[in-house]
Amino acid sequence: MENVVILRYGELALKSTGVRNWYEKTLVNNTSAMLEHRGIPYSRITREWGRIFIDTDDSRAAKAAADVFGVVSTSFAQVTDATIESAGALCAQLAEGFVVEGQSFAIRSRRTGNHSFSSRDLGMKCGDAVWQMLESNGITPSVDLTNPDREIFVEMRQTKAYVFTQTIEGVGGLPLGTQGKMVSLVSGGIDSPVATWLLMKRGVEIVPVYCNNSPYNDDRARKRTMECISALQEWCPGHPFKVYEVPNGANLGIFIDKCSRNKTCLLCKRTMYRIAAEIMNKEGASGIVTGSSLGQVASQTAANMHAEFYGLCIPIYHPLIGLDKNEIIDIARKIGTFDISIQQAGSCEAVPIHPEVKAGFDSLLEEEGKIDIDDLVKKSIENARVSHPIS
């Protein structure tokens, strides 16, 4: 019996023919990279209108493909001829042992292509085949089309029919690599890895940037951040990260010594944006991603966020801006970064006792006038270390 994984997509189907073709090819390449990364064997991946098929006997491929950005759902299916008789026989075969005494069943059928029968005809024929098999095995059949105990799905296409019993929900979004590249300011906290993942889900390739605040943070903060980046890398094995680790501790020391103490965090954030902008230009990226969520901490009030990027003239994306903490945590658990992010790593010792919560952009510009901000950014970039995430 031939086995395949059916891969379904959503938004891709709305694109023009040329764009859709490109997106599908990218999705195939990303799926291939995911299967190879997880050591799952397959013979080939093919495309038909509205579907992608993975030829494999390994059912794990369905879960692996469901974790590829752009995939809406997957099913591990058995294949037979595109006739109503063959589909019915295969449904009966799969139902044996799958539907037991006391359980109801339903056939979910759909048809694409030119056939002499309708989807309703297909469902009825397959249901009859299952009913007869159950009776012959001494089981009292029961059909429930509203809330069945067991469902058997039949998808009839032009040349083949596919029968399966499970659909795995995919991550959705767009294929990674179709929406350009952005720099992401990543720390080891809960928020920034989630923000990064959400932009990856929208098809954006990521250049992670970690601003190391040592000696105001200990090495546990760095370790936690790199582990988060490695966890994110698991979602895009065909697109290896280029990680920038930028020293920022010396900058914090200068802010503390020469500027108003309550504005240290805001000056730090503006400097991080400037650093990220330089890396963005260097890498040919088109935006900066942050983990800011409105009102979550003192530095993320509307006034402070306005002041932080006033006059910088760079595109800054805040995917979490309207989410509350519980919503962010739910995503972090789903993507595998939460347990890493809650590891003890100490707090930043540069944070003032009474941080500014309603800064005016003019006051921050005045503070920056006390230092040579361009020189600080230049030295930070010159001393940046480029690497790949730890495994």
Local confidence band at 125 (pLDDT 50, 70, 90 cut-offs): very high
DSSP 100-146: -TT--EEEEEEE-S--SS-HHHHHHHHHHHHHHHHHHTT----B-SS
pLDDT tens sequence across 157-189: 999 999 999 999 999 999 999 999 999 999 989
* pTM of the predicted model as reported, rounded to 2 decimal places: 0.92
Kindly state the tokens that stand for 250.
């010396």
Category of 41 on φ-ψ map: left (φ > 0), alpha (ψ -120 to 50) or beta:
beta
Helices and strands, number each (H, E), in the chain: 13, 14
Mean of pLDDT over the chain: 94
Please state which of the ranges 83-97, 180-194, 217-231, 347-361 shows the lowest mean pLDDT: 347-361
Whether 144 shows a pLDDT value over 50: the answer reads yes
pLDDT, mean of residues 9-24: 92
Local confidence band at 307 (pLDDT 50, 70, 90 cut-offs): confident
Residue 30, Cβ density class (10 Å: 0-12 exposed, 13-18 middle, ≥19 buried): buried
pLDDT tens sequence across 235-253: 999 999 999 999 999 999 9
Whether 389 shows a pLDDT value over 70: the answer reads no
Helix (H) / strand (E) element for 18: namely: helix 17-37
Which domains does the chain possess? 2-169 (3.30.2130.30), 181-387 (3.40.50.620)
Local confidence band at 283 (pLDDT 50, 70, 90 cut-offs): very high
* Dihedral angle, C-alpha 34, 37, 39, 42, nearest 10 °: 40
Nearest C-alpha neighbor of 288 from the set 309, 306, 268, 307: 309
Quote the DSSP letter at residue 320.
Answer: T
Whether 391 shows a pLDDT value over 50: the answer reads no
Local confidence band at 300 (pLDDT 50, 70, 90 cut-offs): confident
pLDDT for residue 359: 78
Whether 390 shows a pLDDT value over 60: the answer reads no
* Dihedral angle, C-alpha 275, 280, 286, 287, nearest 10 °: -30
pLDDT tens sequence across 99-117: 999 999 999 999 998 999 9
Helix 361-368, helix 264-283: angle, nearest 10: 80
pLDDT for residue 347: 83
Local confidence band at 298 (pLDDT 50, 70, 90 cut-offs): low
DSSP 233-265: HTT-TTS---EEEEE-HHHHHHHHHHS-GGGHH
